[in-house]
Amino acid sequence: MTKSSTRQKVMDAACLLFYTKGYTGTSVRDIAAKAKVNVSLISYHFTNKQGLLEHLMVQYFEPYIEAIEQQKDVDPRLSSQEKLRKMIEVIIQYKKQHHQFTCFIHRELTLDNVLVREMMVTYLAKEKFILFKLFKESLQHTKIKQMQVQYLFLQFKGMLMMPFLMPYEMREHVLWDQSPEFFVKQYTDTIMHWLDHVYQTGGLPPKKESIM
- Return the CATH number at 12: 1.10.10.60
Please report whether residue 148 resides in a domain.
yes
Total residues belonging to the chain: 212
Residue 112 and residue 163 in one domain: yes
pLDDT tens, position by position, for the chain (212 residues)? 556 688 999 999 999 999 999 999 999 999 999 999 999 999 999 999 999 999 999 999 999 999 999 887 778 888 888 999 999 999 999 999 999 999 999 888 888 778 888 888 899 999 999 999 999 999 988 888 888 899 999 999 999 998 888 766 666 555 556 677 788 888 889 999 999 999 888 766 555 554 44
Residue 102 and residue 191 in one domain: yes
Residue pair 107/99 in contact by the 8 Å Cβ criterion: no
Residue 141 and residue 117 in one domain: yes
Domain count across the chain: 2
Distance of alpha carbon 112 from alpha carbon 53, whole angstroms: 16
CATH code (residue 117): 1.10.357
Residue 15 and residue 42 in one domain: yes
Residue 128 and residue 159 in one domain: yes
| Domain span at 117 | 55-201
